[in-house]
Amino acid sequence: MKQQLELTLRALDMELRTVKNNLNQVKEQINSVDDLDDLTQSSETASEGCELLYSNYKNSMLLIEQLGMECKDSVSLLKIQDAVLSYERLLELKKSHCDVLNGKIKKMENKVSGLQKELSETKEVKSQLEHQKVEWEQELCSLRFTLKQEEEKRRNADMLYEKIREQLRRKEEQYGKEVEMKQQLELTLRALDMELRTVKNNLNQVIEERNDIQKQLSREQNARILQDGILTNHLSKQKEIEMANKEMNSEVSECREKEENLLRRNHMLQDEIALLKLEIDTIKKQNQEKENKYFEDIEIVKEKNDDLQKTIKLNEETLAKTILQYSGQLNVLTAENTMLKSKLESEKQNKDRLEAEVESYHSRLAAAIQDREQSQTSKRDLELAFQRAKDEWLRLQDKMNFDVANLRDNNEMLSQQLSKTESKFNSLETELHHTRDALREKALVLERVQRDLSQAQGQKKEIEHMYQSEQGKVNKYMGKQESLEERLSQLQSENLLLRQQLDDAQNKVDSKEKTVINIQGQFQDIVKRLQAESERQGLMLEERNKELTSECNHLKERLYQYENEKAEREAVVRQLQQELADTLKKQSMSEASLEVTSRYRANLEDEAQDLKKKLCQITSQLQEAQDRHTEAVKCTEKTQDHVQKLEIENAKLKVTVKKQVGKIEQLQKNLLSTGSSEDEKEQLKKLTELKQSLESSLDQEMKKNDELEKELTGFKELLKMTRRKLNEYESGEFNSPGDLKTNQIEMDIQINLLKHKIDDLTAKLETASSKCLHLDTKNQVLQQELLSMKVMQKKCKKLEKNKSKLEQEVVNLKSHIEMNTVEHSQVEQYKREIEERARQELVEKLKEVNLFLQAQAASQENLEQLWENNYASIRSQMELRIKDLESELSKMKSFQEYSDKTELEKYKQLYLEEVKLGKSLANKLNKTNERLAEISAKLLVEKEQNRSLLHTLTTRPVLEPPCARNLNNGLMFNRNLTPRENLVISTSSPRPSNDSIETYLTKMQQELQKNISRELAEAAAEFESGICRTSPLGSTDDLVLKTSQEYVQILKKNYML
């Protein structure tokens, strides 16, 4: 029995020990969670141990009961019962402890499953990143290949551009020849214009002479009619006298004296009649001779007019042919010009696209190089170089701001020059529009006048000649415009050459970068540490590439928008041209006088002469510019040769650089070797400074790591102490089973305290790890900032140098262009200066090989930003300029329409006034004719009265008074005059005395003379007042005045008034 009990007790002890061991294993695994499978296994073993304890306990109870039944000793039974009770308590405690441990184990299992998931996710992310890295390397290879292809395409495009440029030069020469031909034609046209003017003046003179002759003929016809009337009067008087003579012959005896007087009178009258006949014959002969002369002159003038019309027709035909030829040539040239422009624009777009892609590839390569350089640079250099880089960066930023301000000033100057040229061009276009409008108006006016007058045909032809000359001027201005566009294309080609030079410099830098990569092969150990950073930077590169692609797409969209806007503007220009044509057609219906056209023609001739002078000046300026351009081309060729020499020297220097790399590696081992040069010592100093900075940063990080390791060791010691205490406690439990409760409570308290400490320590570890990660991220950020600062610094230096070089080269080129002849000594000095500069630049570049590689991407980005800003500013200025010009055009149109309307109204008013004046003059003439008819009727009545009076006198046996002749003369004078008083002859007295008749006749003669003088004075006053009141069409009044004055003079001559 005792043996069985001892065996059962031993089995129970063994099982308890196994359970304790399992518990210890579980605690250790909880404290050090290294393998998740072990933890699960430990939890399973712990649960299995608990179950085994419970089953063994039941078996032991059954054995004790069997022993109690068999054994009847009370003492042994009590001992067995005490042991059983103690074991029962222990088992309950262990069972509760196992339950607690099972709950903890489940929690840990859940945590472990979560950590497994995170590990799997991290592994997947890592595999994805590696896959992305491989893809990026493939893309880099493909981009390099595409870069090479695009460089070849760019070379081909440059070749095509040079060919197109040569073709344009040939076309410029052809255009110059055509311009010379046009100038010759203009000279011939001028000569023809002068001849036409002379012919026109001769025609005007002939027409004036014809009008004068017609006036003289009308006057002489009037005088002849008067003379015929006088002759008829004389003949009637002669007949009366013959009748009287016959009557007197019957009464010879009574009136011999009367016969003698009558004979005398008869002889006198006959003499007068003979004289008048002779005068009439002479006047007729003179009139016939004048008429013959006038008819001959008229025939000669007609023949001349026909000849001139024939010559004008021939000239018109030749001009029409020349106009058609030149218009066809112009159309062909314009078509070729448009084709070339479209080709140029397409090539420019392709070039811009290629440049954008090349720049994107450069930026990608620069970013990749930066990543490589960042991976090659160490942490020690970052913190010490940071403060220096800040100061240098601030200085460089100031310099960059100053350079940017200078560039903006230069851009503003260029934009001002462009605006000035555009304003000149727009003013010339406005002048062209004005001249075209004026010419069209003249042409329409001449077409209207050609229907009525042959003179207007000559004027129309002259105006057509003027129109052709103006068209020639328009063609010249178009040629100027094309020359300006070619000048702009030349400037763009110069900019492209400068960009090519920059690309060559970048290629040189790339070649130097390869040498630097060989130098930096020593820092490959650091690259392994910074691969994680390179992966992050790869992500940054991806984002950068996405941004660049988005920017490229945005730029393409902007280009499409600009093309659409251009098409819309062209449509608007066409609409405006159509509107202009419509307005011109409407204005062509307006009437204008010949005097206004002649004045306007004179003004146009003056303007044409001024424009020709300006054209001569511009042609001289163009020739000077072409000479300067040829000189600049020569200079560029010389500089290219010099650049090739420098490239050869650069290759030599590369070889020397490779040699110096080996020396630098030896000098790194022996810092203070005496055989090194000053440059190598400076580089060694820089390397030592970098090493010191890296060592200091590494020391700081090592200190931090040591502190963290000390904390970890402290935590580990605490854990070991707790484990020892647990082991001691467990060993103490077996020694004193009676004090289990107290020790277990104390152990629970200690375990809780240790748990709290463990939680605090884990929290501290997590904070420390987070701090470490934060510090690592900060270090990476600082490294990136330092690298970017270095890159900016190097780029700024490079930009300053390039800018100074470009400015110097620009200044030299400008001086070379401005000077027509450059001496050979100056050229040699310039070559020497360039060689010295090149040598200095090569030395500086060799010194700054390590710093120069990081300066590429930022400079390209700055250049792109500057270019975009300049382009946007120029674009905005051009749009504002176009809007201003459109507003000015609208204003000019409105002003022209208003001026045309006002002129039309003025001319209409003048025309209406002239029509009214003509009507009033016609009414006056009708009135005067009516008055003349009344006066002639009255005179006839008076003649009849006088005849009756004479008849009565002759019937009486009284001698005829000597005043009868005067009375007859007075009556003759009163043919065309209006007497103020009516003659009343009293016939009441049958035989008045001779004295009374003589007095009566003298009174009548005096009254007639007074009436004549009054009428003459009143007519003169009326004519003078009519002249004062007339408008510019007062030529009819002048004719009336002349005719009246001439008529008065003839009366005075003939009748001695």
The Cα–Cα gap between 457 and 204 comes to: 13
Asked if residues 487 and 342 have their Cβ atoms less than 8 Å apart, the reply is: no
Would you state the pLDDT for residue 813?
A: 66
**Per-residue pLDDT, 669:** 59
User: What is the C-alpha to C-alpha distance for residues 403 and 348, in angstroms, rounded to an integer?
Assistant: 28
pLDDT on residue 46: 46
Do 36 and 112 touch, CB atoms closer than 8 A? Answer: yes
- Helix (H/G/I), strand (E/B), else coil: 454: coil
Residues 956, 997 contacting (CB under 8 angstroms):
no
Asked which of 209-213, 330-334, 482-486 is least confident by mean pLDDT, the reply is 482-486
- Rounded Cα gap, residues 442 and 436, in angstroms: 10
C-alpha–C-alpha distance, residues 1001 and 257, integer Å:
22
Backbone φ, ψ for residue 637 (5° rounding): -60, -40
CA-CA-CA-CA torsion sign (325, 331, 337, 339)? negative
User: Does residue 184 contact residue 457 with C-beta atoms inside 8 Å?
Assistant: no
Report pLDDT for 662: 65
pLDDT on residue 692: 65
Run of H or E residues at 1041: helix 1035-1055
User: DSSP secondary structure string, 733-749?
Assistant: HHH-GGGHHHHHHHHHH
Average pLDDT value for residue range 397-407: 73
Contact between residue 471 and residue 182 where contact means Cβ atoms under 8 Å apart? no
By CB atoms closer than 10 A (0-12, 13-18, 19+), residue 513 is buried
What are 216's two structure tokens?
């003289």
- pLDDT tens-digit readout, 698-733: 566 667 666 766 766 666 676 666 556 556 655 554
pLDDT band at 278 (very low <50, low <70, confident <90, very high): confident
Buried b (16+ CB within 10 A) or exposed e, 93-108: ebeeebeebeeebeeb
Cα-to-chain-centroid distance, residue 32: 76
Which of 285-299, 403-417, 780-794 shows the highest mean pLDDT? 285-299
* Cα separation, 658 vs 664, whole angstroms: 10
Question: Mind listing the pLDDT tens digit for each residue in 869-916?
Answer: 877 777 787 778 777 877 877 887 788 788 778 877 877 788 788 788
**At 982, is the pLDDT very low, low, confident or very high (cuts 50, 70, 90)?**
very low
DSSP letters for 320-357: HHHHHHHHHHHHHHHHHHHHHHHHHHHHHHHHHHHHHH
Q: Is 597 exposed, middle or buried (0-12, 13-18, 19+ CB in 10 A)?
A: buried
Domain residue ranges in the chain: 896-1057
Contact 419, 878 (CB under 8 A): no
pLDDT number for residue 127: 82
pLDDT score of 506 more than 50: yes
Rounded Cα distance, 365 and 139, in Å: 11
Question: Token pair for residue 493?
Answer: 């080609």
Q: Give the C-alpha distances (Å, rounded to integers) separating 529 from 376, 526, 532.
A: 10, 5, 8
Q: What is the pLDDT of residue 454?
A: 63
**Selected residue with higher pLDDT from 647 and 349:** 349
The closest alpha carbon to 369, from 502, 573, 241, 541, belongs to 541
Task: Name the residue with higher pLDDT: 823 or 925.
Answer: 925
Note the pLDDT tens digit of each residue in 297-329. Answer: 777 877 877 787 787 778 778 777 777 776 777
Question: What is the pLDDT at residue 165?
Answer: 78
Label each residue of 5-42 as H, E or C. Answer: HHHHHHHHHHHHHHHHHHHHHHHHHHHCCCCHHHHHHH
Q: Which residues contact 959 (CB under 8 A, 6 or more apart)?
A: 257, 258, 261, 994
| Residues 310, 774: Cα–Cα separation, whole Å | 103
Flag whether pLDDT at 177 surpasses 80: yes
Q: What is the pLDDT of residues 573-626, one digit of tens each?
A: 777 767 766 766 665 565 555 566 666 666 667 776 776 676 677 666 666 756
What's the predicted TM-score (pTM) here? 0.20
Q: Is residue 668 pLDDT above 70, yes or no?
A: no
Q: pLDDT tens digits for 935-960?
A: 878 878 877 877 777 766 655 444 43
- Percent of the chain topping pLDDT 90: 0
Res 119 pLDDT > 70 = yes
Q: What is the mean pLDDT of the chain?
A: 68
Which pLDDT does position 252 carry in this prediction? 58
Determine the 3-state secondary structure of 497 from DSSP: helix
Cβ proximity of 978 and 1008 under 8 Å: no
What's the pLDDT score for residue 988?
37
**Residue 855 DSSP symbol:** G
Which pLDDT band, with edges at 50, 70 and 90, does 1033 fall under? Answer: very low
Phi-psi domain of 1056 (left: phi exceeds 0; alpha: psi -120 through 50; beta: other): left
Q: How many Å apart are CA 821 and CA 524, to the nearest integer?
A: 59
Return the number of other C-beta atoms located less than 10 Å from residue 478's C-beta.
15
Choice among 41-45, 149-153, 769-773, 1007-1011 with the minimum mean pLDDT: 41-45
Mean per-residue pLDDT for 858-871? Answer: 74
**pLDDT value of position 985:** 38
At 944 the pLDDT is 81
Span 323-350, pLDDT tens digits? 777 677 777 777 777 787 777 777 778 7
Phi, psi values for residue 1032, rounded to 5°: -60, -20
Task: Tell me how crowded residue 650 is: count the other CB atoms within 10 A of its CB.
Answer: 19
Asked whether the predicted pLDDT for residue 359 surpasses 60, the reply is yes
Instruction: Round to whole Å and give the CA distance between 333 and 481.
Output: 14
pLDDT, tens digit, for every residue of 223-270? 777 777 777 777 777 777 778 667 766 665 665 676 677 677 777 777
Q: Inform me whether the pLDDT recorded for 977 exceeds 50.
A: no
The gap from C-alpha 1029 to its chain's centroid, in whole angstroms, comes to 60
Mean pLDDT score, 80-94 = 74
Sequence length of the chain is: 1057
